[in-house]
Structure 1
Amino acid sequence: MAPRRSHRKSRLGCIQCKRRKIKCDETPPPCGNCRRHDIECEYAIRPETRTHTPESISGDVGTTRISNPQLPAGNVQPHSHLSVAPTTTTTPTTSTSSADQLDIFSTFMGTNLRFTSDLHLHDLELMHQYTTQTYRTLSNNNEHEEIWKDIIPKEALEHPFLMHGLLALAALHLIECNPDENETRRKYIELATMHQHLAVSAFRPELSNITISNCNAVFAFSSLIAVLSFAFSRFVGTASTGEPVAEVLQDFFLFRGVEGVLTSFFDFIQRGKLGTLVRRAENTGVGIILSKDIIDTLDYLHGCNSPSATHSSAEEKQAYNYAIRELRISFERPPLGWETVFRWPVVLPESYLALLKSRKPMALVILAHYCVILRRLDACWWSKGWSHHLFKAIYRSLDISWAPLLKWPMQMIEYNENMDGHI
């Protein structure tokens, strides 16, 4: 009987071939068998970590592989007679395919999960704009800046209407930074329009259900309303339609509505993280002494509304006197705080707003004097030129007989009746 041929076992094959009890060709994964069957191939010891040279001495795991170029092929001396000097050890050479190089990323990925990207890059761009630039333009008070930068964006994460408001404002700010009419500017106009619509649509239901949990977000958004309104009119809205009085009147009603709804929550807000915004300048600052020209102008305005004036009824005169008196108080507020600009619209009587809505001449004249206070915001990108734009609309709508009452605000606004400029 012929002697049984010895079998040289290899313990270096892939795990899959060992399980199937078939011979593995030990090529870099996948091996030939796994490649044919299209199955995962895994080695306990990766083949590329082993030395593969023609002169290698094969053996079991752990066998030292030595080559001696001075010996003829096939004549390998026993280890005890090897000369150390001429013997060289072949450095393993790793030949890794691009697929193998990328295989390391599989350790960071789930095997059975299917993910899709939901990055809204435009919105991320807008939030970056807000947190790096836009927040600085919402107040000239350093303490307020920190609130607009850190606290309010965190609040917006829980209240979508506030988040949309911040993104709309950032888009409007980017329009200001891109004055040329191009595709980029049109993109920001579209984003501003979308976020403004989403913000207002989501904000309206909140006004009828203000609670402890949302009052801070409602107050923050209400503080943004004026900025959004002025900026939207400048860049996107109807500022060029020739009816800025209607727009500013709409803003007045909006300011007053939010102010009234939040009144019962002011104490809570003041004790909270937005408290600094509630403590307005008129509550902490000292009134300024009015200049003689302002005093004389307001006295003249009040005199033109005296009982002897024939252009108004007694009820109208009473509403006008109230508006003039509050206008004087607003002039006395320190001009450093932008928030003082919005005091007058909030404290006006309903009767005066009704007269303004009807475009009564005296109501428009008083509004023209308010433009001097509104001009304090000309340094802001979001309201630059609005006082001039509003005064021009008032001036052009009144009969020439009212011109003497408009002389002082015209000088303060630096308006020339021959100018045709736009905001």
Structure 2
Amino acid sequence: MTPSPPQDLLKYLPDHRVLVCMQCRYAIQPNAVARHLKEIHHIHRGDRRPFVEYAGQFDLADPAKVVYPDLTQFPVPVLPVENGVACRFAGCGHLCVTVKRMKQHWMTVHRMSARDGIDWRNVQVQTFFRGNALKYFTGERSEEVQPEKGCSRRDFAPVTLNFSPASPDGPLAEIEQRLIEKYHLDSLDSELLRHYLRHTSQTIDPRPETQTAFQTAVPKIAYNFHFLLQGMLSCAAMHLAQITPSRGAFSYRATAAKHHDAALPTFRHAMLTISSHNCNAVMAFSFFMMIYTLSRADDADSLLLIRESTTTTTIAAWMEVLRTRCNLLDSCWENIICGPIGPLASLWRHNDQKTVVSPTDPLLCKLLSIRNCSASFHPWNESDTKLYNNAAVELTRAISLASRMGHTLTIWDALGTWPLNLADGFFDLLLAMHPGALILLAQYGTLLASVQTLWFFNGHAGKLLDRVRSLVDPRWEKFLQADYMHS
């Protein structure tokens, strides 16, 4: 079916600097026009171009800078009008569409129970945006009530996050309510937040101190960094997609992608302006980005530390996250270690525990002997040989560390050893499908296989080994046999 003309689907409101989808009846965020056309209206790439070009001619405001209508401009003609409720606390005027949300608002912000028929009133409301940018407005003047006699205004002023230490449900419920209220989360995102706090946060790493950091410290930081909350919600959605495949896994994965993509622009800006103020948020989001990219690795190529597409071959997204983010955070590492998510810092710094590798180490000798087998049919040049030798030493060191750690080894320990210590040139060997580089990668896969029980990595090591076997010349097959790999 041929799409309708752009002006029939998209309507620009110059007074407010928003572009409204006339079918969905809400405004599209400036950086989401193409994605909206693709994911909501299923318009093919070639057919989307006129719509994107049409949208590009307008001065669109970010949600935070939209010009909201005054009382005389309400209702905005192209937007639906909903029945809502308005807070009557003096100086507040908060709007939502359910009494339940209003009661949560009073408990969270004003620190008291709302009185039915007194502390809120029914109003008509509209919103330009949905999802994470939802913000209601009305055309009715505010009506205020003062706190009950004997209570000062200061007693009920909005509060900052100052949670008690982690304990079962109480503090978690408080964290949940405050984040829901601040970011106006809808029912689905509230469900994801609840799942993250009570379940997903406990599955990222088995150590109690890191579980506590993910469960309580990270959400507190998210109160001031929206992109971090979006990372939490994306992680929770992928977790639900993994553990409840019969309950709409595709829908959860789509929701995870939505939050992940929405967080990236702000996250990238934070990386460019890294400081003691935002370093903890950047660090925490990097974990969620890793989990997201690993958990959606359905194709084996993304497990090869590289990623192939129709036009190019690059380092895999999860590997780029691991290597780049660590380097960017170096300038603030002391702040992170001494801060609220200090336990998370240790998950990426086991590679600092250098050990001397003996030239006679049996594994290293076996790995170095492989290069001698290539002389007759695949000679290696001096540069490739040097890169291979250094990578073999680092892999021997990583496997030695894993052996010493035994059952305490986790996926973060494994990811934080060999890949972080590889030279950039080694990735060029992988991009070229160099047999030596692939064999080392397969050997590394045997290390990953021992720690792949976490939901976001389960089964990946086996896929990695199978993919390497499909890529190497049959003459290298003996170096990938199980008895060789584990001898």
Question: TM-score category by the smaller chain?
Answer: 0.5 to 0.7
Q: Which amino acid aligns with 1:326?
A: E
1:139 partnered with 2:150: no
User: Who is 2:458 aligned against?
Assistant: 384
Distance 2:451 2:265 in 1: 27
Distance 1:264 1:323 in 2: 26
1:342 partnered with 2:415: yes
User: Who is 2:120 aligned against?
Assistant: 109
Stretches (4+) displaced over 6 A: 283-290
Q: Which amino acid aligns with 2:235?
A: L
Distance 1:255 1:383 in 2: 15
Aligned pair partner of 1:322 in 390, 401, 406: 390
Aligned pair partner of 1:211 in 270, 275, 281: 275
Distance 1:282 1:126 in 2: 31
Alignment of 1:10-409 (within 5 A): 105-110=116-121, 119-180=185-246, 184-234=248-298, 239=299, 244-245=303-304, 246-247=306-307, 249-280=316-347, 282=350, 296-305=362-371, 309=375, 311-333=379-401, 334-335=405-406, 336-338=408-410, 339-343=412-416, 344-408=418-482
Task: Using the TM superposition, give the Cα deviation of residue 225 of structure 1 relative to its aligned residue in structure 2, in angstroms.
Answer: 2.8
Task: Using the TM superposition, give the Cα deviation of residue 108 of structure 1 relative to its aligned residue in structure 2, in angstroms.
Answer: 3.3
Q: Which amino acid aligns with 2:435?
A: P
Distance 1:110 1:308 in 2: 80
- CA 1:384/1:295 → structure 2, altered by over 3 Å: closer, same or farther? farther
CA contact (8 A) 1:307 1:314 kept: no
CA contact (8 A) 2:374 2:380 kept: no
> Which blocks of at least 5 consecutive residues in structure 2 are unaligned?
1-114, 127-135, 137-183, 308-314
Distance 1:327 1:199 in 2: 34
Q: Which amino acid aligns with 1:262?
A: L
- CA 1:337/1:244 → structure 2, altered by over 3 Å: closer, same or farther? closer
TM (norm. structure 1) is 0.64
- CA 1:229/1:295 → structure 2, altered by over 3 Å: closer, same or farther? farther
Distance 2:268 2:409 in 1: 28
Distance 2:439 2:351 in 1: 29
SS of structure 2 residue aligned to 1:312: coil
Aligned length: 299
Q: Which amino acid aligns with 2:448?
A: L
Task: Using the TM superposition, give the Cα deviation of residue 226 of structure 1 relative to its aligned residue in structure 2, in angstroms.
Answer: 2.4
> Which blocks of at least 5 consecutive residues in structure 1 are unaligned?
1-103, 414-423
Q: Which has the larger radius of gyration?
A: 1
- CA 1:412/1:131 → structure 2, altered by over 3 Å: closer, same or farther? farther
SS of structure 2 residue aligned to 1:105: coil
SS of structure 2 residue aligned to 1:123: helix
User: Percent identity over the alignment?
Assistant: 23
Over the aligned positions, Cα root-mean-square deviation in angstroms equals 3.1
- CA 1:399/1:359 → structure 2, altered by over 3 Å: closer, same or farther? same
Task: Using the TM superposition, give the Cα deviation of residue 352 of structure 1 relative to its aligned residue in structure 2, in angstroms.
Answer: 0.5
Distance 1:232 1:127 in 2: 20
- CA 1:119/1:203 → structure 2, altered by over 3 Å: closer, same or farther? closer
CA contact (8 A) 1:306 1:317 kept: no
Bigger fraction of residues in strand: 2
User: Who is 1:18 aligned against?
Assistant: none
CA contact (8 A) 1:305 1:321 kept: no
Q: Which amino acid aligns with 2:381?
A: S
Distance 1:279 1:408 in 2: 32
CA contact (8 A) 1:169 1:192 kept: yes
- CA 1:279/1:192 → structure 2, altered by over 3 Å: closer, same or farther? closer
CA contact (8 A) 2:228 2:281 kept: yes
Distance 2:466 2:252 in 1: 28
- CA 1:306/1:348 → structure 2, altered by over 3 Å: closer, same or farther? same
TM (norm. structure 2) is 0.56
Distance 1:301 1:410 in 2: 11
SS of structure 1 residue aligned to 2:371: coil
Distance 2:288 2:434 in 1: 30
Q: Which amino acid aligns with 1:254?
A: V
Task: Using the TM superposition, give the Cα deviation of residue 190 of structure 1 relative to its aligned residue in structure 2, in angstroms.
Answer: 1.6
Q: What per-residue deviation string (whole Å, max 9, x for no partner) do you get for residues 279-308 of structure 1? A: 347389898999xxx953432111223599
Distance 1:166 1:287 in 2: 35
Distance 1:147 1:409 in 2: 41
Distance 1:358 1:286 in 2: 29
SS of structure 1 residue aligned to 2:245: coil
Q: Which amino acid aligns with 1:351?
A: G
Q: What per-residue deviation string (whole Å, max 9, x for no partner) do you get for residues 159-217 of structure 1? A: 1221111111100111112223x6x3232122112112112333222221111111001
User: Who is 1:93 aligned against?
Assistant: none
- CA 1:308/1:364 → structure 2, altered by over 3 Å: closer, same or farther? closer
SS of structure 1 residue aligned to 2:456: coil
Task: Using the TM superposition, give the Cα deviation of residue 377 of structure 1 relative to its aligned residue in structure 2, in angstroms.
Answer: 3.1
Distance 1:200 1:214 in 2: 15
CA contact (8 A) 1:369 1:409 kept: no
Q: Which amino acid aligns with 1:219?
A: M
Q: Which amino acid aligns with 2:117?
A: S
- CA 1:148/1:341 → structure 2, altered by over 3 Å: closer, same or farther? same
Q: Which amino acid aligns with 2:262?
A: L
Task: Using the TM superposition, give the Cα deviation of residue 412 of structure 1 relative to its aligned residue in structure 2, in angstroms.
Answer: 5.5
Q: Which amino acid aligns with 1:401?
A: R
- CA 1:400/1:284 → structure 2, altered by over 3 Å: closer, same or farther? closer
Distance 1:354 1:412 in 2: 27
Q: What per-residue deviation string (whole Å, max 9, x for no partner) do you get for residues 129-159 of structure 1? A: 1011101111111111000000001111211
